[in-house]
Structure 1
Amino acid sequence: MRSAPQPGFWLVARREWRWLLHDPIALVLIFVVPLFAFVGLSVAFTNPVIRALGVVVIDADRSEISRAFVEQVAASPNLSIVERSGDLASAARAIRAGDAIAAVYIPVNFERDLKAERRPQVVAFYNQQFLTAAGVAAAGLSDSLSAATRSAAGRAAPKAARIGSLVPETIALVNPERNYAQFLLRTLLPMVMHVVIALAGGYSVGSEFRRRSMRDWLQCAGGNPIIALTGKLAPLFAIFFFIMLSVPLILEGIFGISFKGDVPMIIAAASLMIIGYLALGVLLQLLLRDLPTALGFTGLIVSPAFGFVGVGFPIIAMNTFSVAWGTIMPLRWYMEVLLGQAARGLPVQESARPFALLAGLAVAYGLSALLRLRSIARGISKEAPEPAPPAAAPRTVGEVFLAEWRRMLGMRGAFAALVMAPLIYGIYYPQPYLGQILRKIPIAVVDNDLSDLSQRIVQTLEASGAVGVAVRANSLAEAHAAVDRGEAFAVVGIPPDTERDVLKGMAAHIPIYADATYLFVFRTTANGIAVAINTLSSELAAGGARIGGSLVKAKLASSSPTDTLLQPIFNPVGGYASYIVPAAFVLILQQTLLIGAAALTGLAVAQAASGAFMSVLGRGIAHVTLYVPLLALYLIVLPRVYGFSALGNPLQLFVLASVFVLATSFMGQAFGAWFKRPETPTLIFVGTSLPQFFLTGFAWPREAIPAPAQAIGMIFPSGFAIDGLVRINQLGASLWEVAHDMRGLWCLAVIYFALAVTSAALVKGRHVHA
């Protein structure tokens, strides 16, 4: 006779492995959600360089030279002329509607003024509300218009220059191709995984409270909490370790994103991150002891990590709360190790501090979970399942409406998802971004000229609001080491004989070695340094003459025959919070409603006495009425509290937002009818939030997203809602200018309503025949 298996680690691990294999929701969370994220993001970033951004041209001169300027814009690989407009008003409408990201205005008499050396002004307007696309468009416009200006200057007779110029040249230290995909794929995939890991750990332990048996679990471990916890989490650790290990191999093999650092350190860091988030998910379950509620709080803590860990917005610009909160997140230190090793190839000792902090957090969360489990094990008893609310039998739309309101307010998990989470997110999510713009980014300077001019260059950089000289190095190697240590984000090298070359009337090239690991910091730093150097160069060209005087104008006309003005519109200061938070607010509203509506649907279908049509419609109306105050909070109140642009007509906002809420409600009901447990929506939908955001065409421009990835993004109402609501509220667009978004939301509402009705009828029929 075969003896019973002995209690211990392997018995607990086998028990957990069998459960994982037979729980379809666990398999979806562990395998399908990461696969969706990986495939969606990989396809979205197939085009690593953003190209063909729409530009409207207003050529009021229609001369040979103005046409040459237009041809230079058309030749830019980043830009595509989508319209040749007759006035600025129609160009503004095209920008508000999303047909273009920028407009170029060439004034009347441009050719005449150019030949008369009056430096006519060419103005390029670009929509900075869409910050990523705006940065690419601005660079493309600057390069193309500068090329056109040089061409125009070449046609004129050469004139002897009295004094030379300073020419800044940016060189990327890391990611020299400035490949957005290299940065985003390397950082976003671990961010999705840390959410999945925390939810999976919590789901594994939380399922013991109601559906499984905590007593059996502990008995399999012989009553030892250490064996119980390590045995339960071992299968999950093995699965996630394999996934984390395969990601860099896929990135290098398919996308050519090379790994430069120490492999054992990265493997150890990934292991510690997995342990830390498994332990965090377990700890929250053991503290709250309610599976849906604890999963909701887990998602609340881990899902906004993109901002708090310094990837979405640099830590140097965050407020104290955001820095402190990010410090207790293992992902913060894992990302520092990952980027330091994989992207920069730093020596191991340079990553020792974040590695040690990551290890400390993993140990702290693991010990906390273990101590809490030991406390629970002392008084463990078989808990009876929580009684379900008394079944009502609503028959009319009004009764369904009231019944849904009672469920939304009376069930703890639903109330947390639909009411508490939006209120908390409204305060919690924007915190890392409220610094808005980067100021005084630390840079290093290597002065190899040691002249009066080189001192003026350093003083000009010091006076800049964008950058500040934090390190004065004696060599480029010393300065680069300061960048590796995080003491500076760029190096300005002043070559020998810079002053001599300028005095001879030559162009002195000033190299800017900037760290392109974080592209937002890279662009801001490089632009800040270039603006400061160009300002000094203009002062040198003026030669001390009175600003605005005829001598200055003549000198400027000889070196630059046109005055090119790049003018940002909508979010003109380039505030990061003004850019990211309004769009994220829409996604938050969708995800909370999607989770809440889906979680309540199973109970609603079981209790419904009315037809499926009435049930779905009544519940959708209930969700709209619940979200009206939340829409007012997110679209009207909070933008003004945080100082974001709020140009939209409130009535038009609510019209579009109401259709968005209906579409989201019906989608939640369509999926929720098939979910047997209220925690399932949290497990499935929370991990898809970040990929959804990058598939909407907001953070990553639609022009760079292949059609299949765009189609995936259109499954969710947030794709149309983010575009439409941001354009109305932040750009002042009318409802007619975002009619394509309105049509898209109505189509989704109708499709998901039909699916919800069909699903409810089928599931109800199964209950009747069961």
Structure 2
Amino acid sequence: MKRLSTPGALAVATREIRWIARDRVALFLIFGVPLIAFGLLAATFRDAVIRDLRVSVVDADRTAISRVYVQAIASAPSVTVAERSGDLTGAMHAIRSGAAIAAVYIPPDFEHDFLARKHPQIVVFYNRQFFTPGNNAASALTKAIDAATATLPPPPAAGAGYRPGRLVVEQYVLTNPALNFAQFLLRAVLPTVLHVVVAVAAGYSVGSEFSARSRKAWLRAAGGSPLAALLGKLAPLFGVFVMMMVVVAVIIHGLYGIPFRGDSVMMGAAACLLVIAYLSIGALLQLLVRKLAVGLSLTAVFCSPAFGFAGVGFPLFGMNGFALFWGSLLPLRWYVQILFDQAARGLPTYVSAEPFAILGAIATAAFGLAWLRLRAIAGRPSPAAPAAPHEPAFDPRGGVGGAMFAEWRRVLNDSGAFALIVLSPLLYGFFYPQPYLGEVLRRIPVAVVDQDGTELSREIVATLDADEAVTVAARATTMTQAHALLARREVFAILAIPEGAQRDVLKGDRARIAAYVDSAYFLLYNRTLQGFSEAVATVGGRIATGGARDDGSLAYAAAARRAPVEVVSQPLFNPTGGYASYVVPAAFVLILQQTLLMGVASLGGLAFERAGSDGRSRRGGARAILGQGLAHLCLATPGVALYLIVLPRVYGFSTLGKPLDLLLFSAPFLLAVSFLAQFAGQWFRRRESAVLLFVATSLPLFFTVGVSWPQEAIPEGIRLASRLMPSTSAIDGLVRINQMGADLHDVSRDFMTLWALAGLYGVLAAATSRILGGERLRHAQ
């Protein structure tokens, strides 16, 4: 490269741009990975409204009235009747196997009991282990059943007389009135993907100076100034990733038409601080260890779980002390708060001043520490490169067993591969679940505006404060005061009792109670609305029964008058609605895939580094691939036992599956991941390429599985393509076995898919080795 005449930050930046242009891995990491992830996620959330959730119907009555309900369910836009089971056993099998997300049971003698005013029940069973699809199906089915009830003529009344009015909760959804899941998720998911790429790209750029490039040349281009060296190194990446943040904004506000309500200048400045912070963190970790592979692994561990600690899925006030502390150290946590307050909620700028200042402080501190570390090592001699360890050769005469033992030695003797395959699951097993261990949100602070000031309104407030879901944190005198509390995050919803509510009830009219609920965070929204509805319904029931016993005949008669048909929603497999019980088991399976995938693929790049094409060919024969796959199966099985048997019991998750079924199902999953990693590793020339290219794929993969985002809402092409990744079938099958009590027959489709993927990737790995120069090993065998 031609030496620039004027050393400094500009010279370093020019040198960096030339390196990026020549390094295909760097180009793909900086441009390809985020754009592919953005496109995949944007397409995944294309259908913002969830429709056609599959349900099973059990009509044990088979009368004209029961058929009205079946037709109403079939006509509901959010669900579709996938099958009509003959009994509940068949319906439960449909839910366990994935053929349905919910089931509706209409009992025998339903029409007779309806006409006799016996208040018959229709039971909705829904799979709450699959949180979002299950809850949406239950809500849609309840609305369809209520709509069908409204179309039927009421049964003949036993007599007339005075009846008090009803309390009705009217919902006013703030922030996201259409309850658009894309608006909620994409805002946070796209920056989360990008922040991982930002940190890894900075780490790769800095770490390469201690491996393939030259630290002396870097500092010489800067004129010996560590500050100029660091600024020039990070400046090109800063420009690229700020443009990527613009792409994120275009996708959200342009492609999806999601409105932006806040201060765009503050939001742009926060995006710049986020990029600076993670560029500095990626650089700092490399400067601390001065080993590219180790530094990239540390960066992945630091960044990958950040989505949970940012408070997007599970709110911050429900987290334990460790999660709150660790999250406060992450730039993403403060950026997400600014993002939701400004872009989604449209709050005044001063509300975001504190998180903006903290984000700026973290970015400044991270850059300052990176600069101090670079200055400390600038004058030191470069450490001598350690001698490359001998690459264990596969003896063809040893067959599959020889390859397996050689791979064991290779993994155990290589700290990077051992850390990824064996140690990382231990670390993630503690680290990843921490934000979610609160499980169920309790005592959500809300405000009450009581403009009635009567005995009835005071009873509503007292009942609301006693509800498990919410607590009355403030009693405002005006709606303006209440909204100010909402803006400052002191409360998350407002219940307004209008003047004249008690008078309307006594007159026999409806009294409308207004519930203003912030839907920026969906879990908060649903849980708060649940608390409001429970409290008002409890008070309404007391009014209707005139204070009679809840289990007495008067209470039963009053309930029958209010609703001639009772809808009973029965959650399955996650009865408490625990958030950790829902998200962590699926995430554990994905962690097993990603750590094994990166660890094994890095060994392919390492083999090429040490021995060139010969090293690659020694890993590429059919017997070598199978033996190495068996070695990886043995090395990863303890992680499977930890994640699927030990930790679920430690954390209190549901564990209905048989350990033998779990281990049998895991075998093709681990083999498929191993063969996929060996296939990918055949193309790598450096070990770090595996971490660089795979670390940012975790979040997109998680949302294409169908656990948090329904399969019915995912485009057909993406749904089919996701089946090529072992994690898709593995998460579906292992969660159904372990959390839902399914057996191997129930998940036979996933089981056979994993065996097919293992065979496919094994063949591809062997064929690729032959294409890339594995003829020598083939002839030796």
Q: Structure 2-normalised TM-score?
A: 0.96
1:49-128 map, 5 Å: 49-128=49-128
Provide Cα deviations, 1:213-252, integer angstroms capped at 9, x if missing partner: 0011011111110000000000000000111022212322
Q: Which stretch has the larger CA shift, 137-146 or 581-590?
A: 137-146
Letter in 2 for 1:666: F
- Aligned mates of 2:162, 2:416 — CA distance in 1: 74
What is the CA-CA distance between 1:684 and the residue it aligns to? 0.7
1:228-239 map, 5 Å: 228-239=229-240
What is the CA-CA distance between 1:67 and the residue it aligns to? 1.1
Q: Which stretch has the larger CA shift, 624-633 or 583-592?
A: 624-633
Letter in 2 for 1:644: F
1:18 maps to 18
1:41 maps to 41
1:306 maps to 307
What is the CA-CA distance between 1:494 and the residue it aligns to? 0.6
2:682 maps to 673
2:697 maps to 688
**SS in structure 2 of the partner of residue 572 of structure 1:** coil
1:214-233 map, 5 Å: 214-233=215-234
The answer to whether the aligner puts 1:509 opposite 2:512 as a matched pair is yes
Counterpart contact for 2:463–2:535, Cα < 8 Å: yes
Provide Cα deviations, 1:604-647, integer angstroms capped at 9, x if missing partner: 57445586101111110000011111111111111111111111
What is the CA-CA distance between 1:764 and the residue it aligns to? 3.5
Provide Cα deviations, 1:434-492, integer angstroms capped at 9, x if missing partner: 10000001111111111111101100110000001112111222212211111111111
Q: Which stretch has the larger CA shift, 551-560 or 503-512?
A: 551-560
* Aligned-residue CA RMSD (Å): 1.7
Counterpart contact for 1:40–1:712, Cα < 8 Å: no
Letter in 2 for 1:252: H
**SS in structure 2 of the partner of residue 125 of structure 1:** strand
2:611 maps to none
* Matched-pair identity in %: 51
Provide Cα deviations, 1:12-50, integer angstroms capped at 9, x if missing partner: 000000001111111111111111211111111111011
What is the CA-CA distance between 1:763 and the residue it aligns to? 2.8
The answer to whether the aligner puts 1:615 opposite 2:624 as a matched pair is yes
Letter in 1 for 2:587: A
**SS in structure 1 of the partner of residue 772 of structure 2:** helix
Provide Cα deviations, 1:311-334, integer angstroms capped at 9, x if missing partner: 121111100000000000000101
In structure 2, do the counterparts of structure 1 residues 40 and 449 end up closer, same or farther at CA, with 3 Å as the change threshold?
A: same
Q: Out of 751, 764, 774, which is 1:742 matched to?
A: 751
Provide Cα deviations, 1:244-297, integer angstroms capped at 9, x if missing partner: 022212322211111111111111101100010011111111111111111011
1:465 maps to 468
What is the CA-CA distance between 1:678 and the residue it aligns to? 0.7
2:419 maps to 416
- Aligned mates of 2:388, 2:299 — CA distance in 1: 24
In structure 2, do the counterparts of structure 1 residues 681 and 555 end up closer, same or farther at CA, with 3 Å as the change threshold?
A: same
Counterpart contact for 2:72–2:148, Cα < 8 Å: yes
What is the CA-CA distance between 1:587 and the residue it aligns to? 0.1
The answer to whether the aligner puts 1:494 opposite 2:503 as a matched pair is no
The answer to whether the aligner puts 1:348 opposite 2:357 as a matched pair is no
Q: Which stretch has the larger CA shift, 596-605 or 441-450?
A: 596-605
Provide Cα deviations, 1:118-175, integer angstroms capped at 9, x if missing partner: 1112111111100111121121122112222333464545955521111112221111
Letter in 1 for 2:660: L
**SS in structure 1 of the partner of residue 654 of structure 2:** coil
The answer to whether the aligner puts 1:658 opposite 2:667 as a matched pair is yes
1:199 maps to 200
1:54-453 map, 5 Å: 54-152=54-152, 154=154, 156=156, 159-381=160-382, 383-384=384-385, 386-395=387-396, 396-453=399-456
- Aligned mates of 2:3, 2:733 — CA distance in 1: 66
- Aligned mates of 1:308, 1:102 — CA distance in 2: 31
- Aligned mates of 2:630, 2:405 — CA distance in 1: 10
Counterpart contact for 1:150–1:560, Cα < 8 Å: no
1:532-571 map, 5 Å: 532-571=535-574
In structure 2, do the counterparts of structure 1 residues 457 and 541 end up closer, same or farther at CA, with 3 Å as the change threshold?
A: same
Q: Which stretch has the larger CA shift, 64-73 or 325-334?
A: 64-73
- Aligned mates of 2:424, 2:254 — CA distance in 1: 40
- Aligned mates of 1:29, 1:565 — CA distance in 2: 51
Structure 1, unpaired ranges of 5+: none
- Aligned mates of 1:463, 1:512 — CA distance in 2: 17
1:579 maps to 582
In structure 2, do the counterparts of structure 1 residues 5 and 149 end up closer, same or farther at CA, with 3 Å as the change threshold?
A: same
Counterpart contact for 1:265–1:348, Cα < 8 Å: yes
Provide Cα deviations, 1:660-691, integer angstroms capped at 9, x if missing partner: 00000000000111101111111111101100
- Aligned mates of 1:207, 1:352 — CA distance in 2: 37
- Aligned mates of 1:400, 1:604 — CA distance in 2: 14
What is the CA-CA distance between 1:382 and the residue it aligns to? 6.5
- Aligned mates of 2:385, 2:299 — CA distance in 1: 24
Letter in 1 for 2:268: I
**SS in structure 2 of the partner of residue 493 of structure 1:** strand
Q: Which stretch has the larger CA shift, 378-387 or 543-552?
A: 378-387
Letter in 2 for 1:561: P
Letter in 2 for 1:91: A
- Aligned mates of 1:245, 1:458 — CA distance in 2: 46
- Aligned mates of 2:387, 2:283 — CA distance in 1: 21
In structure 2, do the counterparts of structure 1 residues 96 and 159 end up closer, same or farther at CA, with 3 Å as the change threshold?
A: farther
**SS in structure 2 of the partner of residue 122 of structure 1:** strand
**SS in structure 2 of the partner of residue 103 of structure 1:** strand
Counterpart contact for 1:7–1:221, Cα < 8 Å: yes
What is the CA-CA distance between 1:563 and the residue it aligns to? 2.1
In structure 2, do the counterparts of structure 1 residues 98 and 622 end up closer, same or farther at CA, with 3 Å as the change threshold?
A: same
Counterpart contact for 1:213–1:382, Cα < 8 Å: no
Counterpart contact for 2:392–2:410, Cα < 8 Å: no
What is the CA-CA distance between 1:57 and the residue it aligns to? 1.0
Provide Cα deviations, 1:87-129, integer angstroms capped at 9, x if missing partner: 1111000000011111111111111111111111211111110
Counterpart contact for 1:8–1:221, Cα < 8 Å: yes
Letter in 2 for 1:147: A
Letter in 2 for 1:667: L
What is the CA-CA distance between 1:3 and the residue it aligns to? 8.8
Counterpart contact for 1:292–1:413, Cα < 8 Å: yes
Q: Which stretch has the larger CA shift, 18-27 or 382-391?
A: 382-391
The answer to whether the aligner puts 1:733 opposite 2:735 as a matched pair is no
Counterpart contact for 1:55–1:102, Cα < 8 Å: yes
Counterpart contact for 1:591–1:689, Cα < 8 Å: yes
What is the CA-CA distance between 1:378 and the residue it aligns to? 2.1
In structure 2, do the counterparts of structure 1 residues 634 and 219 end up closer, same or farther at CA, with 3 Å as the change threshold?
A: same
Counterpart contact for 2:52–2:712, Cα < 8 Å: yes
- Aligned mates of 2:12, 2:626 — CA distance in 1: 46
Q: Which stretch has the larger CA shift, 223-232 or 755-764?
A: 755-764
Counterpart contact for 1:74–1:80, Cα < 8 Å: yes
**SS in structure 2 of the partner of residue 545 of structure 1:** coil
Number of aligned residue pairs: 768
Q: Which stretch has the larger CA shift, 112-121 or 598-607?
A: 598-607
Structure 2, unpaired ranges of 5+: 609-613
Provide Cα deviations, 1:540-579, integer angstroms capped at 9, x if missing partner: 1111123332222222222211222111111001000000
**SS in structure 2 of the partner of residue 736 of structure 1:** coil
Q: Which stretch has the larger CA shift, 470-479 or 458-467?
A: 470-479
What is the CA-CA distance between 1:715 and the residue it aligns to? 2.3
- Aligned mates of 1:689, 1:3 — CA distance in 2: 41
Counterpart contact for 2:114–2:155, Cα < 8 Å: no
Provide Cα deviations, 1:396-422, integer angstroms capped at 9, x if missing partner: 212211111111111111111111111
